Amino acid sequence: MKKLKKAVFAAGCFWGVQYLFDSLEGIIKTTVGYTGGHRENPTYEEVCASTTGHAEAIEIVYDPEKISYEQLVKFFFDIHDFTQIGGQGPDLGIQYRSEIFYFDEQQRKIAERIKKQLQDKGFDVVTKITQSSIFWPAEDYHQKYYHKKGEKPYCHYRRNVMDLNDLNFKISLE
Give CA–CA dist 51/159, Å, rounded: 31
**CB-based contact 52:46 (threshold 8 Å):** yes
Sign of CA dihedral 129, 82, 98, 84: positive
Please check the confidence at residue 168 and state whether its pLDDT lies above 70: no
State yes or no: is 13 an active-site residue.
yes
Burial grade of 89 (CB within 10 A; 0-12, 13-18, 19 or more):
middle
Q: Calculate ∠ Cα 145-63-17, nearest 5°.
A: 25
Q: State whether residue 134 is helix, strand or coil.
A: coil
Q: What tens digit of pLDDT does each residue of 37-73 get?
A: 999 999 999 999 989 999 999 999 999 999 999 999 9
* Catalytic position from the list 7, 8, 13, 114: 13
| Sheet with strand 5-11: strands edge to edge | 128-131, 98-102, 5-11, 55-62, 27-35, 136-137
Could you tell me which CATH class the domain 5-149 is placed in? Answer: alpha beta
Q: What is the pTM of this model?
A: 0.90
Q: What tens digit of pLDDT does each residue of 73-101 get?
A: 999 999 999 999 988 888 899 999 999 99
